Amino acid sequence: MTDGPTYGFDTLQIHAGARPDPATGARQTPIYQSTAYVFRDAEHAAALFNLQEVGYIYSRLTNPTVAVLQERIATLEGGAGGVCCSSGHAAQLMALFPLMSPGKNVVVSTRLYGGTVTQFSQTIKRFGWEATFVDFDDVDAVKAAIDDNTRAVFCESIANPGGYITDLDAISAISDAAEIPLIVDNTTATPYLCRPIEHGATLVVHSTTKYLTGNGTVTGGCVVDSGKFDWSANDKFPSLSAPEPAYHGMKFHETFGPLAFTFHGIAIGLRDLGMTMNPQAAHYTLMGTETLSLRMDRHIENATKIAQWLEADDRVDYVTYAGLESSPYFDRVAKICPRGAGGLFTFAVKGGYDACVKLVNALEIFSHVANLGDARSLIIHSASTTHRQLTAEQQRAAGAAPEVVRVSIGIEDADDLIADLDQALSKAVS
């Protein structure tokens, strides 16, 4: 789309980044299933490798189908640019890669997806990085956790699994004062419900596997750069502000300005880490984004109705959905996610761990899978699966206690979903 009118979300989710194919006129973005691209001549090739010209070299770095998706997600998030990669976990590493070095740390929320907790508490130690886990509802604790070696703050907009909503404005004020970037995982909210950059986020990461694709077919990730952070304000981020030896001493921030992080993600991150999104995955995700707003509205409508029903049921101890007036996060919905609290939450089953297992096994419409954001309704017992590697204390801090199940409410008929939960609860607590 050309510069001009300011388009609405529903228009951008279909058109942003996409143009008719110049060779055939095809209206849907083609799957450019090609490893490499022919250079016009030797001068053109040299310009591309020197980052003096934007174009296609090799699909580990850039691909026309993936490029459309990158532009679309960045546009929906209100960012300057985006880099797509192979998964949400890859996107998290891609976001940290230019910021971190041995001995540095990232301050992260305790309320994160279990795989992210493991990645940050265990895996990143192999790079010499550290993570400090803090309850992000305690802003003083977040502030106190930041030290001279902190290079980023990381949280989820709507936390998985509990659906807790982070006060991004309060957290970004802390990261701004410390002159370090705030990275927000916006997977569960999507840019339709929350635009973290508008609340002070520097970088936004996504598992495009989830709501953006919306059909449970492909994995993918994306890092969106706000383009607003001054990487040269101090010497904390030499990858972006200092001369880069691999490009004859070029300084990314000085050369590319607001697109410095995006260019670094492609020219260094994808080049050296190789966590590439394949073009077919990009194609599926592009098709998914076209109906994002329609699906999210239905997810929210169904989630609200089902959460209210569960909260009133004697077989359930509590429900964590932020869209309920009883939720301590209810007031944040209008502030952070004005279109609604999303489709993900947990509820505690009376009878504990064993009752949760019986519930999962008795359901018929809900699918028992380790995923969320599908058009289908999904359920999982986090303590025995996605959060199994965590300690009991970590599980409770993350909202994945043994007596809790997580549901990702789909777009089916809500009454059918309630009937399925009703019959399964009867078997679980009998």
- Strands 150-156 and 105-109 come out as parallel
- Paired strand residues for 205: 185, 223
Name the residue among 83, 167, 109 with its Cα closest to residue 337. Answer: 167
Which segments of 91-149 are extended strands (E)? 105-109, 130-134
> What range defines the domain where residue 217 resides?
9-288
Asked whether residue 392 is assigned to any structural domain, the reply reads yes
Provide the domain count of the chain.
2
Residue type at position 376: R
User: Is 153 in contact with 107 (CB distance < 8 Å)?
Assistant: yes
pLDDT at 340: 98
The tokens for 406 are 């997580």
Same domain, 298 and 423: yes
Instruction: For CA atoms 390, 394, 397, 402, give the dihedral sign.
Output: positive
Whether 56 maps to a domain, the answer reads: yes
DSSP H or E stretch at residue 349: strand 344-349
Same domain, 191 and 333: no
Domain boundary among 233, 264, 288: 288
The predicted pLDDT at position 389 comes to: 74
- Output the domain CATH number for residue 49: 3.40.640.10
What is the phi/psi pair of residue 131, to 5°?
-125, 135
C-alpha span between 131 and 316 (Å, rounded): 35
Spans of the chain, pLDDT less than 70: 1-5
Looking at the fold, whether 256 and 365 belong to one and the same domain comes out as no
Do both 302 and 280 map to the same domain?
no
Domain with 419 in it: what CATH number? 3.90.1150.10
Domain boundary residue, one of 288, 321, 345: 288
Contact predicate 193/340, CB 8 Å: yes
- For helices 414-428 and 292-311, angle between their N-to-C axes, nearest 10 degrees: 40
Helix (H, G, I), strand (E, B) or coil at 204: strand
- Within 8 A by CB and 6+ apart from 120, the residues are 106, 108, 112, 131, 133, 154
Q: Exposed, middle or buried, 96 (CB in 10 Å: 0-12/13-18/19+)? A: buried
Question: Given its phi and psi angles, is residue 248 left (phi above 0), alpha (psi -120 to 50 degrees) or beta?
Answer: left
The identity of residue 316, as a single letter, is V
Confirm whether 2 is domain-assigned: no
- Pair 155, 166: CB distance under 8 Å: yes
- Residue 154, φ and ψ in degrees, nearest 5: -135, 135
Tokens in use for 395? 């599980």
Residue 4 included in any domain? no
Q: Cα-Cα-Cα-Cα dihedral of 78, 159, 337, 341, to 10°? A: 140
Q: Which of 424, 396, 402, 410 is nearest to 310 (CA)?
A: 424
Calpha distance 359→379 (Å, rounded): 10
Q: Does 183 share its domain with 276?
A: yes
| DSSP state letters, 229-249 | --TTSSSS-HHHHS-BGGGTT
Judge if 281 and 305 occupy the same domain.
no
Q: State how far the Cα of 41 lies from the Cα of 359, in Å rounded to an integer.
A: 64
Angle, alpha carbons 133-139-144 (nearest 5°): 65
Do residue 283 and residue 412 come from a single domain? no
Identify whether residues 218 and 309 lie together within a single domain: no
CA angle 191, 192, 193 (to 5 degrees): 90
CB 377 within 8 A of CB 414: no
Q: What is residue 1's predicted lDDT score, i.e. its pLDDT?
A: 55
Residues 47, 142 within the same domain: yes
Which among 245, 273, 288 is the end of a domain?
288
Q: Is residue 1 part of a domain?
A: no
pLDDT reported for residue 400: 80
Together in a domain, 342 and 260: no
- Assess whether 247 and 151 both reside in one domain: yes
CA distance 361 to 352: 15
- Does a structural domain hold residue 179? yes
27 burial (CB, 10 Å; 0-12 / 13-18 / 19+) is: exposed
- Residue 215 is given by DSSP the state S
Has residue 160 been placed in a domain?
A: yes
280 & 322 share domain? no
